[in-house]
Chains A and B, each alone.
Chain A
Amino acid sequence: MEEIQSSLPAPRRLRMRRALQHGGFIFGFAILFVTIVIAIFAPFIAPHDPIAQNLGVRLLPPLWMQGGRPDYLLGTDHLGRDYLSRLIYGSRVSLIVGFSTMLIAGAIGSALGFVGGYYGGRTDDIVTYVINCRLSMPGLLVALAVISLVGGSLATIILVLGLLFWDRYAVVVRTATQQVRNADFIAAARVAGASAPWIIWNEIRPNVLHHILVIATLEMAMAILSEASLSFLGLGIRAPTPSWGLMIAEGRSFLFAKPYLVWVPGIAIFLLVLATNLLGDGLRDLSQPEGRR
């Protein structure tokens, strides 16, 4: 304690230094960042229109294989669409689904967790009951059923995933809130006349935020994977919109002749999900007082 006091490095800078030493965090952050940049600037980066068909160049292999062409770096699919361009645009779907689901589920779950954890008593009983109801449903199965009923689209996928996968936020935020609720600084705020929402937002939220961030990244990976699975099953994004799951589904029939049609988007999904998970793990390690041992 005494040493810290003498030099007084700002905690923010300390945290930065530790983050830069965390391999998984750096890797995850870098990949996610690059993917976001690619998704935003897709029209400038993609060499071709992702949905323009050119039957003259059907099923071209990637550049490094026999018969590959430099203007189609990753080859083309069965309709002659440039695979690299589809991959680039496909990142948009993954990220939009990932982030939007995270926001919706995060808002619902955190709100429930804060309310149950802060008020306790009967209110908490109700919140716990709602969480238990949700936990007793098989999430992805319900998503499948609902989407096959109302029809798949970007909006329905986001809504269904967002309205379903808030349970982890709720459980963790509720527990974390309970741990903070009885602290004396909360009592001080109550004596000062602060309302419950003010206390939750200003005093509790900063103490729970790192938990939410960790879950958000892990759940974002889950949402990206769910969208890919749903699209693969033909229940998600509709053709011709490029989605990585849909690309795998369409390439499936050529799995033995043209395996790159499956493994190229497969690797993209794998990397993005891995990166997001590593980022989440990294955030968790960094948010612990002493970091990872």
Chain B
Amino acid sequence: MTSLLEVNNISLAFRQRTGFFSPPQLIPAVKSVSMQVREGEVMAIVGESGSGKSTLAKLVLRLLMPDTGSITIDGRPSSTLSPRDFANLVQPVFQDPYSSLNPKRTLADIIQMPLIVRGGVSAKECQDRARELFGRVGLPMRLFHTYPNQISGGQRQRVAIARALMLRPKLLVCDEPTSALDVSVQAQILKLFEELKQSFGLTYLFISHNLAVVERIADRIAVMYRGEIVEQGETAPFFAAPRHPYSRMLLSSVLIPIAGRPLPLVSRDFETSVSCESPATERPIVATRGCRP
């Protein structure tokens, strides 16, 4: 299987302007991250808040430009793709279903947006495709011409998914797509993601900090900690025996009770290694190398 998405050593530091004359302060958000996502798989990224997951997603979506490193999509350097070609390959699903739909446009308009921007089809064709997707993501047709404030959070997320599928992309970048939803709705949306993956042959870069969700949907998993990927590998072995101390801490903090699986070992010494922030002492315990294919 070939890699659909290859991220090579990308780094990004935010420049925070503190004053007009003082030099900008650098906040490293992503530090030399590398990973591959193979066609047809679900790659999950987990990590605590502020670990750089969303920043990584924005880098992949070209909403941010990396300071260093490169991203390859479908064998082509992402930065050389035209906006049109890029949109045909990669589409986003965001976390907040309220912020992700324009409150002043109807659901029909929202879903059609990517195809209207791309052009090349008649208005009728565009609307037909939107209608088809509307039903495909499980929305009742009577809502087609309503506004986002008339539907629920789960329905909004379905609209966002339909919009992302409008251009028939290969890769969906989902930044915590279920974490703003009720648990029961979460399950429905996850099921939808699984179904759509089958019928559209999708690949997901799936960000979440809900490990139960990740265990259910992901083929592989990457753990981010302070801007770096500290461990990545297949899901099942990861849950059985996480290698990196931070992963163990992450797992132990959620405790998913599954029959036959022992509780993961928590190393106390990890917390001490966190507190001394020197990269020199952190580096040796990073276990990514051994997990890469």
Interface residues of A (CB under 8 A from B): 1, 4-5, 8, 11, 183-185, 187-194, 198, 202-203, 206-207
Give the residue of A185, A191, A192 whose beta carbon is less than 8 angstroms from that of B102.
Answer: A185
Which residues of B lie under 8 Å from residue A206 when comparing CB positions? 102, 104-105
A191 / chain B contacts, CB cutoff of 8 Å: 61-63, 86-87, 90-92
Given known A-B contacts A4-B150, A8-B150, A193-B83, A188 and B100 have beta carbons under 8 A apart:
yes
Decide yes or no whether B101 CB sits under 8 A from chain A: yes
CB neighbours of A183 from chain B (8 A): 99-100, 102
- Which of B63, B105, B149, B167 touches A190 (beta carbons < 8 Å)? B63
Given contacts A8-B150, A187-B92, contact A192 B117 (CB under 8 A): yes
- In Å, the complex CA distance between A198 and B102 comes to 14
A-B contacts, 9 listed (Cβ < 8 Å): A11-B150, A184-B99, A187-B63, A188-B100, A188-B160, A191-B92, A192-B114, A203-B102, A206-B104
A11 to B163, CA, bound (A): 22
Query: Is residue B113 contacting chain A, with contact meaning CB distance below 8 A?
Result: yes
| Contact indicator A192/B87 (Cβ below 8 Å) | yes
B103 contacts the other chain (Cβ, under 8 Å)?
yes
How big is chain B's contact interface, by range?
35 or more
Residues of B contacting A202 with CB < 8 Å? 113
Question: Closest 8 CB pairs between A and B?
Answer: A193-B83, A206-B104, A184-B100, A192-B114, A184-B94, A184-B99, A193-B87, A185-B102
Q: Mark B76-108, 1 if CB is under 8 A from A, else 0.
A: 000000111011001110111001111111000
With A203-B102, A206-B102 as known contacts, state yes or no: A192 contacts B63, CB within 8 Å: no
* Chain B window 100-144, contacts with chain A (Cβ cutoff 8 Å), 1 for yes, 0 for no: 111111000010011001100000000000000000000000100
| Cβ B152 vs Cβ A188 within 8 A | no
Please determine whether B147 and A11 come into contact, CB atoms closer than 8 angstroms.
Answer: yes
Verify if B151 is at the interface (C-beta below 8 Å from A): yes
Nearest Cβ in chain B — how far from A18, in angstroms? 15
Instruction: Output the nearest chain A residue to B104 by Cβ-Cβ distance.
Output: A206
A203 to B95, CA, bound (A): 19
Any chain A CB within 8 A of the CB of B281? no
What 0/1 readout, one digit per residue, does chain B (54-73) give for beta carbons within 8 Å of chain A?
00001001110000000000
A202: min CB distance to chain B, Å: 8
Chain B residues 150 to 202 lying within 8 A of chain A, measured CB to CB, are: 150-152, 160, 163-164, 167
Taken together as a complex, chains A and B put the C-alpha atoms of A190 and B100 apart, in Å, by 12
Which residue among A5, A184, A198 has the maximum number of chain B CB atoms within 10 Å of its CB? Answer: A184
Instruction: Tell me the nearest residue of chain B to A125, going by C-beta.
Output: B20
Does B210 sit at the interface, judged by CB under 8 A?
Answer: no
A185, B117: Cβ atoms under 8 Å?
Answer: no
Q: Is the interface of A mostly helix, strand, loop or mixed?
A: helix
Count of chain A to chain B residue pairs whose CB atoms are closer than 8 Å in the complex: 77
Whether the pair B113, A192 counts as a contact (CB closer than 8 A) is yes
A5 to B63, CA, bound (A): 34
Among residues of B, the one whose C-beta sits closest to the C-beta of A207 is B104
Closest to B153 in A: A1
B146 near A8: Cβ-Cβ < 8 Å: yes
Note all chain A residues with C-beta closer than 8 A to B147. 11
A288 to B96, CA, bound (A): 22
Q: Which partner residue on chain A sits nearest B166 by CB separation?
A: A192
CB closest residue in chain B, given A180? B102
Assess the B104–A188 pair: CB atoms within 8 A.
no
CA distance A4 to B62 in the complex (A): 38
Q: How far is the CA of A170 from the CA of B160 in the complex (A)?
A: 32
Q: Give CA–CA (A202, B106) in the complex, Å.
A: 12
| Cross-chain contact B117 with A189 (CB below 8 angstroms) | yes
In the complex, chain B residues whose CB is within 8 Å of the CB of A185? 99-102, 110
A193, B118: Cβ atoms closer than 8 Å: yes
CB-CB under 8 A from B58, the residues of chain A are 187
- Partner of B152 from the list A1, A11, A187 (CB cut-off 8 Å) is A1
- B169 to chain A minimum Cβ distance, whole angstroms, is 10
A190 cross-chain contacts in B, Cβ below 8 A: 63
> A183-B99, A185-B101, A185-B110 are known contacts. Are A193 and B150 too (CB-CB below 8 A)?
no
User: Complex formed: what's the CA distance from A190 to B63 in Å?
Assistant: 7
How far, in Å, is A201 (CB) from chain B's closest CB? 12
Chain B residue numbers with a CB within 8 Å of A198 are: 117
Docked complex Cα distance between A27 and B30 (Å): 58
Determine how close the nearest CB of chain B comes to the CB of A183; give it in whole angstroms.
5
Interfacial chain A residues near B99, Cβ < 8 Å:
183-185
Bound CA–CA A86/B158 (angstroms): 62
CB nearest neighbor in B for A190:
B63
Shortest B270–chain A CB gap in Å is 34
Q: Provided the pairs A8-B150, A206-B102, A206-B105 are in contact, do residues A188 and B87 lie with their beta carbons within 8 angstroms?
A: no
Q: Do residues A187 and B104 form an inter-chain contact, with CB atoms below 8 A?
A: no
Q: In whole angstroms, what is the CA distance A207 to B149 when docked?
A: 14
Task: Name A2's closest neighbour in chain B (CB-CB).
Answer: B152
Nearest B residue to A206 via CB reads: B104
**Residues in chain A near residue B86, CB distance under 8 A:** 191, 193
A194 adjacent to B117 (CB under 8 Å)? yes
